[in-house]
Amino acid sequence: MRQGILQDIKQRVKKLRETIEHHRYLYHVLDRQEISEAALDSLKHELVLLEQRYPELVTPDSPSRRIGGRPLPEFKKVEHAVPQWSFNDAFSLEEMRDFDARVTRMLRSATGKEAHQTYTCEHKIDGLKVVLEYKDGIFERAATRGDGVFGEEVTHNVRTIESVPLRLKNPLSLIVEGEVWMKKSRLALLNAERKKNGEEPFANPRNVAAGSIRQLDPAIAASRKLETYIYDISKSSETLPASQYEELKLLQALGFKVNPYFEHARTIDAVIAYFKKWKDRVAKEEYLADGIVVKVNERHFQELLGYTGKAPRFGIAWKFPAEQVTTVVEDIAFQVGRTGVVTPVAHLRPVLVAGSTVSRATLHNEDELKRLDVRIGDTVILQKAGDVIPDIVSVMKEMRGGEEQPFKWPTSIPACGGDGRIERIPGEAAWRCVDRNSFSIQKRKFYHFVSKHAFDIEGLGPKIVDLLLEHKLISSFGDIFTLTRGDLLELPRFADTAANNLLEAIQKARTVSFSKFLTALSIPQVGEETAYDLAVHFGTFEKLHRALMNRPIASKELEHISGIGPIVERSIVDWFADPRHQKLLRELLKHISVQPAKKVATDLPLSGKTVVLTGTLATLSREEAEDIIRKLGGNPSGSVSKNTHFVVIGENPGSKYETAKKLGVHILSEKEFLALVRK
């Protein structure tokens, strides 16, 4: 068994090394990029963890032992006077605490007592690393990091960067290290110019910085208006400061541009606080930063800790939550929604993405699954950005070893109940259960009915709903409002306090807004937005109900409501015409009161306007922002079209932002949106 497992691990390690080397060469040598840095980091991290677990698989040429790439032949190759190291990466709080414990343990061993080290925290700038040499205070040479031993001489290009001092304020001979980068606003102007000239825009500031420094014509580098941040003195003709923090202050005093947000942290908890403060805030800066660099502050402790074969033991790079990572598809299963629609779901090897551990991702429908060609055992790139749920972006087919299993679309699934048959919905990519009254579907309808977006019955979550259904205390929505204290106390582990609290929440839910009432009914094609539009148009449920009891009148009424097309119209009319649903409504309305919709004033700032939200808002939840839009007369929508009036963007906006730009829809920042609200 051990031999078989080891053989599988060997194959995985081999594929990881080949793939990392391929993408490393594209990125570091050719300045081309096929996958994101975050996805490449994820592959490297997996390789490091496997090599730590199976040290017998480590080889001298492993990418985990490599720093950078080979110099381009167009530039003179130079040997670094000081080897250029790279930092090991951490991706979680646990790994940072392990780093702190490791440093503490090593210093205790080296000094024979508790060392009480402190740390310096800096932003990890995502640019191109350069090494600058000064002789008697005069700038002499600049080189890229290269492979850590040899780099490319790029003096003629770095000399054009205004933030690089040509003469220091003190005549020291020293070697410093830093990053060359480009402002986001500058990149936007550059790309606008390139688009105007019919040229391909640059992908990101890091790519354009690297490409500019590697131009043979210094006039091109000069026109790009690059920036630098210097963060380390690797060699000096004078004694170096006693701490990392003082070293950064010295660099500033010598005339170098230093990122202003470095801090001295007295404990690992202070480091964690610094990370949390900046992980969301850093996106507002003009530069890209993909994490923080943490170094032991005391220089004599740094010297005691020393280096491994590739990295300093006294420092680590703590990466911000990645929006793209790689993981493995372990299985493909199905989930059934409250309307009977079945959705394929990839069960994944758990992985940390955008700050949370993800073990599942939707594959949407049969067409998407075929397009991606996802197979069980595949290595995939997983993405999570802003308000977007985890999504499989692509399959890394080059990682396939031959054991992956193609997925065959089924004709039935157990979750549909009965014979489990499924059918494709005419004219759509979705499939649904043939029997749409199975227990599984009914259960999900109850979950939705009591949820925050519907009746919002606090304390009545899926587990309690399951108990009520299993004990046959409810079979219809109206039954919820007939529950007694005695009924609830019959349930396992249900005490007096819990029963009283739940009954109080049910009592509070007896009065519900018109739009939430419609949302709760699980009418196919009717989500929150359509329910709101219906409520505003008809005013009261009684008027809606009367109109829908006469199909010709209903169709005529519904066609006047923006956003309701023939498919939605037919779905609404069919639902209300079903005798089972008419009975459900009669029983439910005995116990609840549906509040009329508030009339929307026509003179409000957003009257008649459709507004789309995308990304994470800093000061408002999604529900709060949508509520504000409605109160101002607007219609919050989930999709962007030519009829959209505004798109409000938060941090990490998704594809809606790109669609809005293509369609020329007016885009508001969160600050601009709030200013409009206040106005």
For the stretch 492-525, pLDDT in tens is 878 888 899 999 999 999 999 999 999 999 998 8
For the cut 90, the answer to whether the pLDDT of residue 217 exceeds it is no
pLDDT tier for residue 599 given thresholds of 50, 70 and 90: low
Q: Which strand (E) or helix (H) includes residue 579? A: helix 579-589
For the cut 80, the answer to whether the pLDDT of residue 139 exceeds it is yes
Q: Which strand (E) or helix (H) includes residue 333? A: strand 324-336
For the cut 90, the answer to whether the pLDDT of residue 115 exceeds it is no
Residue the block writes with tokens 């343990």: 105
Q: What does the DSSP 8-state code read for residue 541? A: H
User: Which pLDDT value is given to residue 250?
Assistant: 96
Which of 179, 184, 176 has its CA nearest to residue 255?
176
Homologous superfamily (CATH) of 324-424 is Nucleic acid-binding proteins (2.40.50.140)
Name the catalytic one among 15, 44, 124, 384. 124
Helix, strand, or coil (residue 466): helix
Do 646 and 609 contact (CB within 8 A), yes or no? yes
Residues in the chain: 679
- CA–CA separation, 318 and 124 (whole Å): 9
Residue the block writes with tokens 């290595």: 379
For the cut 70, the answer to whether the pLDDT of residue 4 exceeds it is no
How do the domains of the chain map onto residue ranges?
2-66, 79-319, 324-424, 439-595, 610-678
Q: Could you tell me the CA-to-CA distances from 85 to 70, 132, 148, 257 in Å, in that order?
A: 15, 15, 6, 21
Do 345 and 425 contact (CB within 8 A), yes or no? no
pLDDT tier for residue 1 given thresholds of 50, 70 and 90: very low
Average pLDDT over residues 203-229: 85
The answer to whether the Cα torsion of 190, 196, 197, 198 is positive or negative is positive
Q: Is 94 annotated as a binding residue?
A: no
**CATH hierarchy code of domain 439-595:** 1.10.150.20
- CA–CA separation, 360 and 342 (whole Å): 15
List the single range of 5-19, 84-98, 163-177, 636-650 with lowest mean pLDDT: 636-650
Q: Is 86 annotated as a binding residue?
A: yes
Which of 385, 645, 563, 592 has its CA nearest to residue 476?
592
Average pLDDT over residues 331-360: 86
Higher pLDDT, 674 or 679: 674
Half-sphere exposure of 189 (CA within 13 A, CB side): 8
Encode pLDDT of 528-575 as tens digits.
878 888 888 889 999 998 888 877 777 777 877 766 778 888 889 889
Active-site residue, 124 included: yes
User: Which pLDDT value is given to residue 31?
Assistant: 63
Residue the block writes with tokens 């890209």: 288
- CA–CA separation, 304 and 677 (whole Å): 58
Encode pLDDT of 40-60 as tens digits.
889 989 998 998 889 888 887
Q: Could you tell me the CA-to-CA distances from 562 to 549, 557, 565, 609, 644 in Å, in that order?
A: 21, 11, 8, 11, 12
Burial (Cβ within 10 Å: 0-12, 13-18, ≥19) of residue 525: middle
- Please give, one letter per residue, the 3-state secondary structure of 247-272: HHHHHHHHCCCCCCCCEEECCHHHHH
Q: Is 74 annotated as a binding residue?
A: no
Do 629 and 648 contact (CB within 8 A), yes or no? no
List the single range of 200-214, 251-265, 482-496, 570-584 with lowest mean pLDDT: 200-214
Do 51 and 58 contact (CB within 8 A), yes or no? yes
Q: Is 295 annotated as a binding residue?
A: yes
- CA–CA separation, 643 and 665 (whole Å): 9
**CATH hierarchy code of domain 79-319:** 3.30.470.30
User: Which pLDDT value is given to residue 337?
Assistant: 83
List the single range of 154-163, 219-228, 379-388 with lowest mean pLDDT: 379-388
Q: Is 319 annotated as a binding residue?
A: yes
Q: Is 185 annotated as a binding residue?
A: no
Question: In one letter, which amino acid is 614?
Answer: T
User: Which pLDDT value is given to residue 478?
Assistant: 93
Higher pLDDT, 172 or 564: 172
Do 348 and 327 contact (CB within 8 A), yes or no? yes
**Mean of all residue pLDDT scores within the chain:** 87
For the cut 80, the answer to whether the pLDDT of residue 424 exceeds it is yes
For the cut 80, the answer to whether the pLDDT of residue 621 exceeds it is no
For the cut 60, the answer to whether the pLDDT of residue 677 exceeds it is yes
Q: Is 433 annotated as a binding residue?
A: no
Pick the CATH number of 2-66 from 2.60.120.330, 3.30.540.10, 1.10.287.610, 3.40.50.12370: 1.10.287.610
- CA–CA separation, 179 and 128 (whole Å): 5
Backbone angles phi, psi at 422, to 5 degrees: -125, 155
User: Which pLDDT value is given to residue 558?
Assistant: 83
Encode pLDDT of 246-276 as tens digits.
999 999 999 999 999 999 999 999 999 999 9
Q: Is 599 annotated as a binding residue?
A: no
Instruction: Identify any residues that bridge with 89 across adjacent strands, giving them in sequence order.
Output: 317
pLDDT tier for residue 650 given thresholds of 50, 70 and 90: confident
Percent helix, strand and coil across the chain, each rounded to 5?
40, 20, 35
User: Which pLDDT value is given to residue 516?
Assistant: 93
- Bin 328: left if φ > 0, else alpha if -120 < ψ < 50, else beta: beta
Helix, strand, or coil (residue 329): strand
The answer to whether the Cα torsion of 276, 278, 282, 287 is positive or negative is negative
Question: In one letter, which amino acid is 233?
Answer: I
**Fold observed for domain 610-678:** Rossmann fold (3.40.50)
